Amino acid sequence: MSGSKALLLCAAAALVIIGVLTAMGVPWGTDEALAGPPIGVGGGTKAASEGTVTTDAPEGTLMGASTEAESMDASAESPAAAPLGSAPVREDSSRTSLDAMVLEGKADPGTGLRLKGAMASWRAWPAVNRTNQTPWWAEALGWGPQHDAGRDLDVGVDSDATPVAHFGFAREPKEGVQDSYVYVTSPRHLAAVVEVEPEQEFIALELESVDPVLIRVVDTGGEPVIGAHVQSVGWIGGKHERLVKRSYTSDQDGLVNLCPLPNQSVLLATSEGLTSPLWRGEHRAAGGNITLMLSASFEASGQVTGAPDPETLAACSILVRMGEWNRKPGALRDEWSNPLATIRVGSDGAWSFNSIPWMGAGEYIFRLQGKGTMPAEKRVYLDDPQSVLVDLPWATGFGLLLYVRGDNAQPLANALVSARWKTQEGWMDYHFRSPADGLVTMDSLPEAEVHVRVSADGFATNSFGPFNMPAAGNSEGFYLDLSRAGIVEGRCVHKGAPVSDFEVTYWGDYAAFRVTEKFHNASDGRFVLDAVPRGDVHLLASSDGLAPSEMATANSLVVRVPESEGRTLVELELTSPLKGFGRVIDAATGKPVVGAVVSPRFSSNSAVLDAWEDPVHTDASGEFRGLALAPVSAALRVDAAGFSPHKLFIGTVEASSHNTGTIVLERFESIEVQLLSAQAEDFSTYTCMLRGHPPVPFDASGHARFDQVEAGYHMLSIQPENMYRRLDTAITVQPGQPKLIEVAVDFGSPSVIKLVPDEGVTVPEALFLKVGRDSESSGSLIRLETFDENLEVKMSLPPGERMIFTVMDHMTNLHVTQWVTTSGAGGDRITLELKGESHHLLFVDSSGQPVSEPHVSIGTPPLDSVVTWQEMGVNPEGRLVLHNVTEPRILLFATGPGDAVGQIQEVTLGPSTPDEPILVHYECDHPILALASERGQPLDGVGTSLKHSPSGTVLDRSSSDAGGQVAFGPLAAGSYLVQITSGGFWPDTFTLHAPDPGQQQVLEVRRLGSIRVEFTGEGQPVRNVAVDFISMERGTRASEWVGAGRVSTGPSGLQTGPDGSVTLSGVPNGDYNLQLSLPSGDLFEQIVNVPPLSEGLVRIALP
């Protein structure tokens, strides 16, 4: 198989096999330089010392212009903050002779401005590697005298009679000339680099003139610090990316005259036990001034344990940052690009920091990372600066090959490729940069579901995956294709006044792929987003101390519109937060949940997204108070140990103190998976995956187990050793009941599925086969395979079943859809014909106008046999092209744009062309407002899902507001099913009609409750007596619900226990007829009431 074809196959695996996932997310940001305040003149408080510029060895002093004199004498001091308005004159005698030089050079400033205070350095340092997470500058900041290249390899570069300056080196670097380079830095010019070839005797560099940049080193009181040591480390591109380093000493005013570098660089200042946080950014973007503030520091040391050998540790580093550094909960950005400190791990695993900047009391995070090493983190809370000991475990990291492409499928360099995965402590991430060939090797990933997000200048940020590691690492790579970005301009305000510091979160079609960008000191509250997807973009803003804005939707532009042409700005109005209170209880027992974490969230329609303010906690009564709530699109999330997270969309809040009501938490469940096969097989190479959980390996017998599983719908995936194959099964986990899922992975003799193209038909480079079973019997509902070079797939198929075979390319375009019934013996040879026919569909609304970009799901009749739907996108002109669909009729339904939902309709595929397409009427004209109530009382926070059928795809989700109103659509005319999905409510299903049948449609819901009944006879507990409860409203026996796993009981089930009691939990509240047989044979009956959201207690003395 060719490498390119393998990559395409893997791209299809990412898009088709893995599919679109609502991730996590949380939004990802960018690095930015922080400009210092305007620099003034002030007196220093420390012993005076002249400003100097030094080599990579901190104690080395180079030739340069002093602030007091212009001598080029070797002992003179260099100009840390010399005036830049004129070119000082040097004596000719101060020049180093070029006689007997092994390498001569010249530097041309190009502008006529003579070079003064410039320096040339000859180095043989390795090329910079910016494509992995370990900072490329980390080691250089820690270099000492052992890395000194020698004073004679750092020479002054000063102009004489002409602006062009000449210089020379008397010897070669000790590492040799091979792979060496020379760089020149100047206070008035951008640094430049040139590669040196063996036997080369002369080099030339051209410099670009720039505005000067001054560094001001101050203490925490803002006073200048004299004699501080300042290190500058950066890189310059060319044939290779080369490391550039300069060291300086601040003058009597705390100033340093910086030699600017062209790309991202770092600055670090230290002085007498004080240190500054790392500054990272572009010198030219700093506005001419950079302030480095020295503060107290603390020491940290530790040991890396478990590494196999010293060579492995040589590639590892320790990084430190402040917890929640510049980050809101739920927002994801490259946090480790600006660590407080970083250091390499020793060959014995030991590491030690002498000076970590003290940023105040709080949580400090220590992180181990390196090539082939899975990142490990440990959090330490410090009240004051103190020495800490932190040990970190080493573990193997797995590799994943990714190929980043831009326009016309060309490699895309310098894209930020970010991997993210979930751990027990939260989300972890790892960031890489794509090189010139676009090929990114992520070599340090865990055994988990890994989500990948890619961003690059001029392209829309996009998300891919999840990739199931380490299985995905067995591939030859995945294509990550980016599309050109659009532009959205806007303004953030509060009560009409501009807000200067804020965040904007945006997304295109899927809120799960949202991105957050942060804006500081925004002029007039304005912002520009230039990495958004083209088309409709959804946005909301947030800022510290204020509530988030309501979601807005804008259409992104291809280019910025000049202000003179009257461009339209999207205005995001921040609001003042309100307060909320409520109660959290256990759904099974009705008892309060103590210590639950309740966090305020912003939302998109009914989708609960990220936190924007600190959480509150429940007390001993399960109550919480003082929760920040947004006046519009308010939402919250509740987390508690042992319980499934609960998200609640509240909507509009008007009262200054809002009652969120009683929130019911469902406990986590467990599921067990057992693989079945027609023949004996060792399943230890198989992996089981459940969305949101780390992969679990099967044992040899084919058994796997998941704990802490949320009740509800899940997609379970079985991954054989070969990553191109996968089996998916949809499962539903019921509250309170363990679940065993049996999945058949082998049915006997394999069948061969052969794809036969018609003559002249071009076969796409990557094709996938998707096989769905007509039966929902035990086993996989979906199988995914890739065609080999002979356009064949070998797979074991269930005998005597009608199955649907679908062929797709890596863009999920349909090419073949065909029903086949397998034989009873197996080992069939099935032929699928690939024809050149295409069907052109045009979606139109009730006025006959094209509908732009609805999401379309396609299946093959009959409807009862459609287990899964193939999702496809319609273009902005409302057009969809189907290739080589052999079935004469298809089923389809569409959703969007917005909240529109269409009915399932059957479409006959006759002759069509782009000019005469098949019209698909998509007429969504009926918004529906239903009422969620309980016995006439409207209920808030009732979550619902809209479907075509009980097992069908979820079309829309909505929650009731404070008045019990539940909004759907607009919908196409027809009937729909509404299922109650909120925890704490009985999962009833209702029929919803569009349009309304003349009156508001009511969803008569029931909250859950529990009851405990204690039986006594003659004052003693009545034991081992069978009991049943019959719902007076439904006529259903509790024993039927218990048998179906829908409700739970106490340890003795529906039989009195040793204490004479019986407990029934999680049933619809209301009256029940309690029945039991007395020892005399008589039937005892009594009406009991199950209260909502609590546990009722009834004591009965039996005759």
CATH of 578-665, one of 3.90.1310.10, 3.90.470.20, 2.60.40.10, 1.10.1740.10: 2.60.40.10
CATH code that applies to domain 1008-1101:
2.60.40.1120
In this structure, of 610-624, 778-792, 932-946, the range with the lowest mean pLDDT score is: 778-792
Q: Tell how strand 918-921 and strand 838-844 pair up.
A: parallel
Query: What is the greatest pairwise CA distance in the chain?
Result: 125
Instruction: Provide the mean pLDDT of the chain.
Output: 79
Average pLDDT over residues 645-662: 83
Q: What 3-state class would DSSP assign to 17?
A: helix
DSSP H or E segment with residue 11: helix 3-12
Q: Say if residue 466 is preceded by a cis peptide, omega within 30 of 0.
A: yes
Strand order in the sheet with 703-709: 703-709, 669-677, 739-746
User: Which range in 146-160, 580-594, 741-755 is most confidently predicted, on average pLDDT?
Assistant: 580-594
Q: Measured between alpha carbons, how far is residue 6 from residues 62, 399, 408, 468 in Å? A: 54, 16, 19, 17
Using the predicted structure, report yes or no on whether residue 134 has a pLDDT greater than 70: no
In this structure, of 114-123, 151-160, 283-292, 1018-1027, the range with the lowest mean pLDDT score is: 151-160
**Burial (0-12, 13-18, 19+ Cβ within 10 Å), 512:** middle
Q: Does domain 3-22+397-481 have CATH number 2.60.40.1120?
A: yes
What are 1085's strand-pairing partners?
1075
Average pLDDT over residues 351-370: 86
More confident residue, 640 or 632: 640
State phi, psi for 931 to the nearest 5 degrees.
-120, 125
Sequential DSSP letters for 997-1047: -SS--EEE--BEEEEEEEEEETTEE--S-BEEEEETTT--BHHHHHHTTSS
* The length of the chain, given as a count of residues: 1103
CATH 2.60.40.10 positions along the chain are 297-393, 578-665, 924-1004
Q: What 3-state class would DSSP assign to 865?
A: helix
Using the predicted structure, report yes or no on whether residue 23 has a pLDDT greater than 90: no
CATH of 838-921, one of 1.10.150.530, 3.40.50.1240, 3.40.50.150, 2.60.40.1120: 2.60.40.1120
Full 3-state SS string of 402-417: EEEECHHHCECCCCEE
Q: What 3-state class would DSSP assign to 496?
A: coil
Strand order in the sheet with 398-405: 439-445, 398-405, 478-481
Average pLDDT over residues 531-540: 83
Average pLDDT over residues 139-150: 54
In this structure, of 28-32, 672-676, 770-774, 886-890, the range with the lowest mean pLDDT score is: 28-32
pLDDT band for position 786 (50/70/90)?
confident
CATH 2.60.40.1120 positions along the chain are 3-22+397-481, 486-574, 838-921, 1008-1101
Q: Measured between alpha carbons, how far is residue 963 from residues 196, 939, 1000 in Å? A: 76, 7, 13
Centre a 10 Å sphere on the Cβ of residue 719 and count the other Cβ atoms it contains.
21
Using the predicted structure, report yes or no on whether residue 318 has a pLDDT greater than 80: yes
pLDDT value, residue 599: 93
Using the predicted structure, report yes or no on whether residue 324 has a pLDDT greater than 80: no
CB 431 within 8 A of CB 353: no
Task: For the domain made up of 924-1004, give the CATH fold.
Answer: Immunoglobulin-like (2.60.40)
Using the predicted structure, report yes or no on whether residue 874 has a pLDDT greater than 90: no
pLDDT band for position 448 (50/70/90)?
confident
CATH class of 486-574: mainly beta
How far apart, in whole angstroms, are the C-alpha atoms of residue 269 and residue 275? Answer: 6
Average pLDDT over residues 1059-1076: 91
pLDDT value, residue 499: 92
The two tokens of residue 872 are: 């496809």
Using the predicted structure, report yes or no on whether residue 559 has a pLDDT greater than 60: no
DSSP H or E segment with residue 704: strand 703-709
Write the pLDDT tens digit of every residue in 974-989.
999 999 987 778 989 9
Place of tokens 């660089």: 265
Write the pLDDT tens digit of every residue in 172-211.
888 889 889 999 999 989 999 999 998 899 999 999 888 8
pLDDT band for position 814 (50/70/90)?
low
More confident residue, 293 or 5: 293
pLDDT band for position 335 (50/70/90)?
low
Write the pLDDT tens digit of every residue in 367-418.
998 888 899 999 888 888 889 999 999 988 888 888 899 877 788 988 888 8
DSSP H or E segment with residue 8: helix 3-12
Q: Measured between alpha carbons, how far is residue 904 from residues 807, 900, 951 in Å? A: 22, 13, 14
How far apart, in whole angstroms, are the C-alpha atoms of residue 95 and residue 405? Answer: 51
CATH architecture for residues 297-393: Sandwich (2.60)
How far apart, in whole angstroms, are the C-alpha atoms of residue 860 and residue 201? Answer: 74
